[in-house]
Structure formats: C-alpha cells, structure tokens
Structure 1
Amino acid sequence: MKIVSLVIDQHADEAGFLVDLRDHAVCAPHYSLNDLHTLERRIEAHLDGLRVAGSAGLETLLQFRPNTRAEVFAAVVLAFESGNSVALYKLSVHLHEYPEAERFFSAALGWLEWELISPWIDRMLASPEPLFHRLGLAACGMHRYDPGPALLTGLSHADPSVLARAARTAGELRRRDLMPTIRAHRLHPDPATRFWANWATAQMGDEHALEPLRQFAEQPGEFQYRALCVLLAWQKRENSIAWIRQLIENPEQQRIGIQAIGLLGDPFSVPWLIQQMSDLSHARVAGEAFSLITGADLGLLDLELQDMPDFDAGPNDDPEDANVAMDPDENLPWPDPQLIAAWWRAHGGDFQAGMGYVLGLQQSESSYRRALVQGQQRQRIAAAFGVARWRPNEVLFPTSAPAWRQKMLLGEPASPVRPL
C-alpha cells in the first residue's frame, strides 16, 4: 500500500506542476497550439492515474498544504467528474483561505465538458456568495456560454470582483445589448472592473473606451498586453501611429512601443526594429515584433545569435535587490541583427509599407485565423482580437481553452485528450 500511496502522490505532484506550467503557457511567447496540446496530454495522463486510484486519488489532492494552488485544478476535475459535493465543499473552504487558488479552480471549470458542469454552474450563478457567482460567470466565459439574465445580475452586483468577471464574460460573448450597462462601470475605482468594462465595450465599437485602455497599456501589469492588443485592433491607424511614436520616444515605454509596432504590422518599421536588436534590453521583443510582422521564424531560419549574451533581466539572488519581476521575454530567441538585416534585404521587397501584416500576410480575417492555427500563444492572443475586429458579432476566440477544443473550433484535426 505504501508503494501505491507514493505513486498517487507522484501523480498529484506532477499534475500540479504541469497545471502550473500550463497556466504560464497559455500566455507564453514560445508555446504553439500543438505545444499546448502536448502539455495537456501530459496533464491528462496524471489525471488518469489519479482517477484509477479512485477515492484515494481525490483524498490525496484534498490534503491541502499551505498555499496549495495548482493541485486545486486536479481536485476540481476529479470532484466534478465524481459528483463529490463533500470534496467541492472542502475546495470552497480552501479558496476562502487561499484566494490565489481561484484561478486554478476556474481553469478546471474551463477544462471540463460543459454538459458535466452546467447543473453546478446554475447553482453557482444563483448563489449570494460572491466567490461562487464569480466562478459561475468565469465558467460561462471560458465556455463561451451565455448565462442570460445572470449576466445582467452580475453587472449590477455590489462586489467589484463579480462586476469585473461579469464585464469580462459579457465582452467574451460580445453582448452588445449590455453595452450601456457595462459603460456605467467605465470609471469604476476598482482597476480590474474598470479594465474589463472598457475592454469589453471597446470590442463592441465603443471609441470612448479606448482612452482608458491606453492608460492600462502604458502601465506594466496583468492588463497591459490585453489592452495593447485591443487598442491596436480597434484604434484608428493614424491614432495608433501617433501613439506609438510617443511610446518609443520614452525610454521607459520603449518595450511596449516595440510590441505595438509588431501588432500594427507595418513593414516600414522593420529597419528600426532591426536596429533595436542590438540593444540587449529590447533585442528579443524586437525580434518577436519582427516575426509577428514578417512570419520569419528566427529559430527555423537560423537567424538567432550563436553565442548567448550575458544578460539577466529577471530577479536575482540578492535579497536587497528590489527587482522581483520575471523577465517577460525570457523564452524568446536572441535575434542576430546582421543575419536578420540580410534576410530583410532579400525578402523586404515582398512587403508593402503602409500596410498591416501578421505572420507575413496582409492583415485580414483569414490571415488572423491562420495565425490562430500557426502562431505562438502571445501571437495567437493578438490574432484572436484581430479576428474579433473583423467579426464584431461573434464570440471572442478562446485562446486559453483546452487545445483540442480550440482545434475543433478552427477546423483542425483534433480529439479530446480524454475520450468522451
């Protein structure tokens, strides 16, 4: 029995580790849709090991250590699959004690099939408890399921976190009929509520939401890249160009300015991007912007530096150092400016200055959809907003959904990681 217990513990630990990895991967610059699918198969293999263990597998997961986060994902999956209300109660208690685990509870709801969770979601949406109401709205958003009147109820909730999630779900569903209600929260004092309200209505054609989004795009934080993507998709081109010029003239905002250039997609800026590749602090993000415009894969085309530079932008071991932020470009390749300049001399004639490109093709609904199939996750997030601009009445493509589900939506060959 001791050996069995060790095997269960190993499955639980590995599942938690891989789920944590997936949490980062869905927004990472080096994960493709196929990479995500491979990772999810590894997660599912460990979930299967826990399923085979029966009640012992779930009990192991419910023995929460302090600050347990990612293991919550596996526990939620098994609890819902078995309809174990006692386990779900224990999970809710844990969430109240450690709110950081909520994102993994939500992710599990997005992982599971809607038919399995929908009866529980109805109860969550009817609950007076903000936590459950928030989780119910999150599940609806991730599955792109319209909860009907519950969404309007969420948009009038007293708890800002419920308001924020309701606004986000309304935006994901493109509920244009709710735009006046969402607009009422445009200046909400809670940053998350304010962001999601403007994020949602901007994608419904609300030009007044763009200025608040610019403020989020100019400040480092969890909302910055999403704000930037929506801005570049919906803002008038001339306004975007003028704004980008302001960004790149400010040393503290050059990185976000470089990302904005990539999203704008104008090959006119490629020579300037190549110049930035000689600046170690901006080299990798400039390479990413170059690839987003041209479609050139630096690794496949051998356009990377052979010798890695001595550069560390992330936190170090010095407890006195106030810099604790992770390097957002850690997993990007180091571009070789000379090789890339030579590539551009050979291929630059294929591009027309003044036009927008994404992965080597002129920006259009079809090129953005192609990017959803072939791009890396950070590129795919931008592509989803691009498609949304061309299809303003369709739900936003879910780039964080299970990969097999995304593939089905894209018409790509796929099967669930676990047969239904």
Structure 2
Amino acid sequence: MRQHVEQAAFLWAQRDTWSLEDPPDEAVIAEIGQRLEINLDGLRIVGSAAWPFVDRQLEDFPDKGEFFVAGWMAIEQGDAKRVESTIEAARQAEERRGLVGALSWHKPQKMGKLVRDWLGAHDALLRYLGVAACAAHDVDPKRLLGRLVRDPDADTRALSLRLAGRLKRTDLTQEMAAAMQAEDDAVRLWAGWALTELGYGDLARAELRKAATAGTPDALAALRAAVKAGPEKEVRAWLGGLMKSSDTAPVAVRGIGMLGDRSVLPWLIKQMRKPELATTAGAAFLELCAEARDDDDLFTTDPVALGPEFLHYFGDATPRMPMADKVMEWSMIGNRLPEGPGRDRL
C-alpha cells in the first residue's frame, strides 16, 4: 500500500512536470499516465486501508504529488470529510496544483455535486476549484460563468475567463472586454486570450504582446495568443523588433516557431548555435517539426558536446539543447529545407 501511495504521488508529479515542458512530449506523458493508473488501481482495491499511508506522506511531503493522491482518494471514495480536510491542508500549504490534478483525473459524474456546490460557495478557493474542474473537462457552468468571469478573486476570475474563451462563450464578450481594464495582470492576459479565441484579437494585441515578454509562467500562453491574434505581417514585424534586444530575443525565436512556416528552418538552425537562444530555438523547431522528437540524436543535455561557449553559459545546468549540425543534416536528408538560400531574418 505504501508503495502504491508513493508511486502514485511521484508519477503524477513527474507527469505534471513533463506537461510543463515546451513543447510537451505527449508520448512520454501518456506512458507515465499508464503507469500512474496501475498504482491508482491498487489504491482502489485496498480502499480506506491506504489512508494512514496517504496521511503520513502528506504530512511529511506536502507537495503537489501528495495532494494529488489525497484529493484523488477522497473523491474516489466519496468521503466529504476527507475532501474538506484535504482542501484545508492545501490551503495551509498554498498548493492547488495537485488538487486540480485530482479533479482532472476523475470523470465529471464522479464529482458533479461537489463542483456545483463549490461554484456557488462564498470561499474563493472552493470557487476556484469548481472552475478548475469545469475547465479540466470542458464543462460549461452555463449562467454561473457570467458571474464567475466577474469574480472578486483574481485567480478565479482569470481561470473563468480562460474557460469562457475555451468554450467560445460569445455571450460573455462584453465581460471579457471589460476585464481588459482589470488591475490584475493574469486577469487581463486571460481576458485577452479569450477575446482572441472568439476572433477579437484586435482588442487584445497590445496586452498580449506585453504579457508575452513579462517572463511569467503564463508568458508562453500569451505569446501563442499574440501570434494567433495576427495579422501575420504585423506579428513578424513585432517579433523582428524583439530580436533587437537580448532580453526579448528568446521570445522572438520561440514565437517564429508558432507561425507554422518551415521555410524559417535555416534561420532557426542559426539561432541554435547561440547559447542564449538554443533552448527556445529547439522548442520552436520541435513545434515546426514534431516528428523530430523521435530522433534522439538531435538533442543533448551535455553542454560540453556543443563547445566551450555553451559550457560557459550553462555551467552545471543541463537543459535539453538542439545540436545545430545534426538538425541541419536531418533537415537536408528529409528535404525539409526551402530551396535557395533560405531566410536569414524574420
């Protein structure tokens, strides 16, 4: 039982970390998910007998994986008191991600009543979890969403705006536009993202471009929305401007990979030779050429293999970096490079 508890926490945390990679490797995530499900099956079989191990683990390591297991167990067994105590523990530890993961893992029918109660709760954390559960399963809370996109809690409001955009709730366009004036950065970002999803990117371009260079955890989502907001000619000009500064050049390199234009491969390979741009160039490359992920020879985690410049820049860090020469060879063999000299600039 202890092994099932420990492995489930470890595997979910590992899976969640992989999901944050840029871009995420869906094959690896799926494989970890299968291994996780085996351990969850073990917990289903032993039932309540596993709680002493879950409690001890959560007390010793109150991290996202441990909260995932505790939350998953409480919902699986329909134990309202356990659900409540796990949420309170998460509140004290300021750890929401594991609970949201537990909500994502269960089917909507398993927690329908809980979520309905949470969406109308006075407690901001409960409202947030209710919206998170809806977002995880693309469930539309109908009229409640109109109130939630104006929620006084910034986190809940931002997540509700994101859900409204994902669900294409055109009836909430005015609320999204109003949220563009909010004080909270995340609220403005996700309001702009939602407007872009509904085809009103012109109302959000300035805010999204600002958020894309802010260096926050949501900056990548903002960049993708800014690229989507278009028009392409203006996006290319904006990215070209970002290339002029060392602070924003990585954003430009990553953004060009979102345009879906493989003719930029020669230019992208040039950026791979620069330590400060290598990792973002590699991510852009994988977005343009997803099939390259299956070739283990194109990337390395050893800066020594790329030369003294990379060793000096990265030191003991071991990010996954593309090997420009190998990528060039792979591109040529597969006839993926454009005819002629290619593009040397955005």
- Please state if 1:20 is matched with 2:27: no
- In the TM superposition, 1:261-276 aligns within 5 A as 261-276=256-271
Q: Give 1:333 deviation, angstroms.
A: 4.2
Change (3 A) 1:97 1:279: same
Q: Secondary structure at the match of 2:99?
A: helix
- In the TM superposition, 1:176-215 aligns within 5 A as 176-206=170-200, 207-215=202-210
Q: How far apart, in 1, do the equivalents of 2:23 and 2:258 lie? A: 17
Change (3 A) 1:114 1:233: same
Q: Give 1:304 deviation, angstroms.
A: 4.7
> Structure 2, unaligned stretches of length 5 or more?
none
Q: Secondary structure at the match of 1:297?
A: helix
In structure 1, which of residues 113, 121, 124 is the aligned counterpart of residue 115 of structure 2?
121
Q: Give 1:125 deviation, angstroms.
A: 1.1
Q: Deviations over 1:324-383 (max 9, x none)?
A: xxx7x82x3431x334334445525667989xxxxxxxxxxxxxxxxxxxxxxxxxxxxx
Q: Deviations over 1:153-175 (max 9, x none)?
A: 21222222221121121122121
1:334 aligns with 322
Q: Secondary structure at the match of 1:88?
A: helix
2:311 aligns with 311
1:108 aligns with 102
Q: Give 1:248 deviation, angstroms.
A: 1.1
Q: How far apart, in 2, do the equivalents of 1:199 and 1:312 lie? A: 38
Change (3 A) 1:145 1:27: same
Q: Give 1:294 deviation, angstroms.
A: 4.2
In structure 2, which of residues 121, 124, 130 is the aligned counterpart of residue 130 of structure 1?
124
Q: Which amino acid aligns with 1:334?
A: P
Q: Give 1:28 deviation, angstroms.
A: 1.7
* Paired-residue identity, %: 26
Change (3 A) 1:229 1:313: farther
In structure 2, which of residues 69, 84, 87 is the aligned counterpart of residue 89 of structure 1?
84
Q: How far apart, in 2, do the equivalents of 1:165 and 1:281 lie? A: 33
Change (3 A) 1:86 1:227: same
- Please state if 1:166 is matched with 2:160: yes
Q: How far apart, in 1, do the equivalents of 2:199 and 2:104 lie? A: 28
Q: Deviations over 1:118-148 (max 9, x none)?
A: 1211111121111111111111111001011
Q: Give 1:298 deviation, angstroms.
A: 6.4
1:33 aligns with 26
Q: How far apart, in 1, do the equivalents of 2:293 and 2:121 lie? A: 50
Q: Which amino acid aligns with 1:32?
A: D
Change (3 A) 1:262 1:68: closer
Contact 1:198–1:209, Cα closer than 8 Å, also in 2: yes
Q: Mean alpha-carbon deviation: is it higher for 132-141 or for 293-302?
A: 293-302
In structure 2, which of residues 253, 257, 262 is the aligned counterpart of residue 258 of structure 1?
253
Q: How far apart, in 2, do the equivalents of 1:49 and 1:313 lie? A: 46
In structure 1, which of residues 62, 67, 72 is the aligned counterpart of residue 55 of structure 2?
62
Q: Which amino acid aligns with 1:244?
A: L
Q: Mean alpha-carbon deviation: is it higher for 228-237 or for 53-62?
A: 53-62
Contact 1:248–1:254, Cα closer than 8 Å, also in 2: yes
Contact 1:50–1:58, Cα closer than 8 Å, also in 2: no
Q: How far apart, in 1, do the equivalents of 2:47 and 2:278 lie? A: 50
Q: Which amino acid aligns with 1:88?
A: V
Q: Secondary structure at the match of 1:70?
A: helix
Q: How far apart, in 2, do the equivalents of 1:60 and 1:90 lie? A: 16
Q: Secondary structure at the match of 1:249?
A: coil
Q: Secondary structure at the match of 1:187?
A: coil
Q: Secondary structure at the match of 2:139?
A: coil
Change (3 A) 1:255 1:115: same
Contact 2:257–2:288, Cα closer than 8 Å, also in 1: yes
Q: Deviations over 1:251-297 (max 9, x none)?
A: 11111111111112334432222222221232233233234334551
Change (3 A) 1:167 1:315: farther
Q: How far apart, in 2, do the equivalents of 1:343 and 1:162 lie? A: 45
- In the TM superposition, 1:349-364 aligns within 5 A as none
Q: How far apart, in 1, do the equivalents of 2:329 and 2:208 lie? A: 37
Q: TM-score, normalised by structure 2?
A: 0.87
Q: How far apart, in 1, do the equivalents of 2:8 and 2:198 lie? A: 38
Task: Give aligned pairs, total.
Answer: 333
The RMSD of aligned alpha carbons is 2.6
Contact 1:186–1:198, Cα closer than 8 Å, also in 2: yes
Q: How far apart, in 1, do the equivalents of 2:18 and 2:265 lie? A: 28
> Structure 1, unaligned stretches of length 5 or more?
1-7, 317-326, 355-420
